[in-house]
Structure 1
Amino acid sequence: MGETAPPLLAYIKSLRAVLAVSRHGSTVRAAEAIHISQPAVARSIIELEKACGLALFSRATKGMAPTPPGARLAARAEAVFQHLTLGATECAAAAPVASRSPPPPDRFPAVVSPGQLRALVAIATGGSETRAAQSLGVTQPAVHAALQGLEDLLGIRLFYKLISGTRLTPAGEAMLRRVKLAMAEVRAMEGDIAAWRGEIRGRIVVGVLPLSVPIFLPRAVDALLAIHPNIDIQIVDGTYESLVRQVLSADVDAIAGALRADVPASEIRQLHLFDDDLVVVARAGHPCLQRELKGLSDLLQWNWVIPLPGTPADRALREVFRSQGLLAPASGLQASSPALTLSFVMQTGRLAIASRGQALVDNHGGQLCIVPLELPSTMRRIGVATRAMGEPSHDLRLFLEACRTAVPDAAR
């Protein structure tokens, strides 16, 4: 999911000055701390205030204090530099050997240029210097020089050439993840600035898991866009494992679906919205609804549409039948989409498992029925998972609140 770097990345040196003044209370003390001249610090602050259209500090004879927007920017800037410092550390750890002694990791954010960071993301996305140059609107030699400068700066090989293009080494991949996380913080910073100026805009990528999500996500997105049409929302799907990797590398902002009990709280923050369990569904008039059912074995005489092998829904189906000493139904018809699964149930008369909440919401005018048979141990916590690192962006906070509001009363 490639995208252009946030414009405010060009002011990374100014962000360093903002953080230093916020910490030390004056341009003089900040200049001493970051080893540049006092006029350069003052000029950087003024340039960034002009770019933001906001006063970031209040000036007094005793020094400078951050305004509320300035304090927020300073907190975001600290997260940006933390990611870049960790990037240098993790990059060195992933490299077999450095070509020369690199600078201390905490110096890396002070010497790396915005162009080098943009070139790293562009080469990873485009796969060649030519395509990276096209995406950045610069020449191929300029991209090559930026990438070479980044390698020289770290003393570590970040790329290797193949006939098919340029690829990242493990050290390059380690650096890329942190650079993308740093850019995500800068992008969140831009959203904060827009909100302070009375504008709500941003971009949210939501990864969705099957089952239960249709209960709240469409309403949440529609309600959010009705109020804030300048927020762009992209919906993607994938396995839980792949979506978590994308969340932790800032390619995805949130995962909607079943929450997990074993995720590290230091990496993933989970918002619990409601609980949902699994049920067997059939269309109205199905023969199984006309008789007393003693167990799942009574349902094996009919055809099913089952989940794709290896998916969470498939594992849940097998576990439910295994708990009663049975093999899950065999079927030549498999579907990954819950909506498509329900369509097959309605149009072919097959049975399937579904989330109870989705079956109640999408019951086709009463024509989709829940088979009166309990499936024990299928209750799941449903919600939204986001990165635990840093504070959510303003637009992401609005999205989370929209999700909370969109949960039907029946599901709470």
Structure 2
Amino acid sequence: MDLQQMRYVVAVAETRNFTRAAERCSVVQSSLSHRIASLERELGVTLFARSSRRTELTSAGAAFLARARECLAAADRAVADAAAAAGVVRGRLAVGVIVTTAAVDVPELLQRFRARHPDVRVLLRAGGSDELVAAIRAGDLDVAFLGLPEDARPAGVESLVLDHDEHVLVVPAGHRLAGARRVTLREVAGETFVDFVAGTAARAQSDQAFAAAGLARDVAYEAGVAELITRLIARELGIALLPSAFIRPLAADDPALALVPVVDGPRRVECLAWSRFNPSPATRALLDVLGVRGPTG
């Protein structure tokens, strides 16, 4: 058994097709198929159930796949650590980002990072804060930019607060509150709301603020991305509370939206999170570009 056979198994598992897997691995299909068949004989198990139309992992294949990925990740880390010891940062850097990130200009940050470390392959993944923290703990992400309720901090990872922010009310330009100097949660509790999906950290920020004020509200529309929320508001389907640092630049270019300060509205923190267990050289390099001098494992 060797690492190349493991890479072939991962490729077939992810593409569910021997031809596409061979193309991904830049080998002819017959060679890839032969190497996987040889591995199956060595292991004494069948890794894939094959037919003329479908290729799926067997239970043995699924068990092997999980450990194969761990072995390949360890091999990649070994190469990266050896290069780092020689003063060169290589390998993979997986970065998670929430869609409302505003404390850091992520593209500009990655531009500076690439200028210093051109041999690092950067993978970006968007998602909710809770999902991204779980991915760091599982080893699928190296770092993530998060947005959380003001008194919350991500568990099981290292983290650094980047900025504090408050939400503003976002209403259609023709709404009765457009142009108001400020409002309270009680004044808007009877409105129809658009918000993020229930159970997410992005949604919790508004839910906790209304709960603290002893108020209930009607969330008629739930969306996974802020862009859809603003489009629903522009169509006069509801109003929303969104982080001010994120929404102000967007609203400035959108005459269909109006922003109103909220006296007792939600507040959030933007955080940077990374693994507390032996961060990779690429992770340490990104922290250095950011000027982070906190613990790095």
TM-score, scaled relative to structure 1: 0.54
Partner Cα separation in structure 2 for residue 155 and residue 354 of structure 1: 56
Partner Cα separation in structure 2 for residue 221 and residue 347 of structure 1: 35
Partner Cα separation in structure 1 for residue 22 and residue 237 of structure 2: 55
- Is 1:373 the equivalent of 2:263? yes
Identify the residue that residue 203 of structure 1 maps to in structure 2.
92
Structure with greater proportional helix content: 1
Tell me the amino acid that sits aligned with residue 263 of structure 2.
L
Q: Tell me, yes or no, if the aligned pair for 2:18 and 2:33 is still in contact at 8 Å.
A: yes
- Is 1:401 the equivalent of 2:288? yes
Identify the residue that residue 272 of structure 1 maps to in structure 2.
160
Q: CA deviation at 1:240?
A: 5.0
Q: 2:29 aligns with which of 130, 140, 154?
A: 140
Identify the residue that residue 312 of structure 1 maps to in structure 2.
201
Partner Cα separation in structure 1 for residue 159 and residue 134 of structure 2: 18
CA deviations over 1:214-246 (Å, ceiling 9, x no partner): 211524323323433443433221345654665
Residues 245 and 306 of structure 1: is their aligned pair in 2 closer, same or farther, counting only changes over 3 Å?
A: closer
Identify the residue that residue 180 of structure 1 maps to in structure 2.
69
- Is 1:392 the equivalent of 2:275? no
CA deviations over 1:306-326 (Å, ceiling 9, x no partner): 324554323433343233343
Partner Cα separation in structure 2 for residue 226 and residue 346 of structure 1: 40
- Percent identical: 24
Partner Cα separation in structure 2 for residue 157 and residue 209 of structure 1: 40
Secondary structure of residue in 2 paired with 1:191? helix
Partner Cα separation in structure 1 for residue 169 and residue 104 of structure 2: 20
Secondary structure of residue in 2 paired with 1:373? coil
TM-score, scaled relative to structure 2: 0.71
Partner Cα separation in structure 1 for residue 7 and residue 31 of structure 2: 12
Q: CA deviation at 1:257?
A: 0.9
Partner Cα separation in structure 1 for residue 214 and residue 271 of structure 2: 28
Identify the residue that residue 20 of structure 1 maps to in structure 2.
none
Identify the residue that residue 240 of structure 2 maps to in structure 1.
352
- Is 1:129 the equivalent of 2:15? no
Partner Cα separation in structure 2 for residue 116 and residue 228 of structure 1: 30
**Paired residues, what number?**
283
Q: 1:216 aligns with which of 104, 110, 124?
A: 104
Partner Cα separation in structure 1 for residue 130 and residue 87 of structure 2: 37
Q: Which runs of 5+ in 2 are unaligned?
A: 293-297
Identify the residue that residue 321 of structure 1 maps to in structure 2.
210
Which structure has more RCO (C-alpha within 8 Å, separation ≥ 6)? 2
Which protein is bigger by CA-based radius of gyration?
Answer: 1
Instruction: Please list, as runs of the form range in 1=range in 2, the aligned pairs for 1:76-91 lying within 5 A after superposition.
Output: none
Q: CA deviation at 1:298?
A: 0.3
* RMSD (CA atoms): 4.1
Residues 296 and 240 of structure 1: is their aligned pair in 2 closer, same or farther, counting only changes over 3 Å?
A: closer
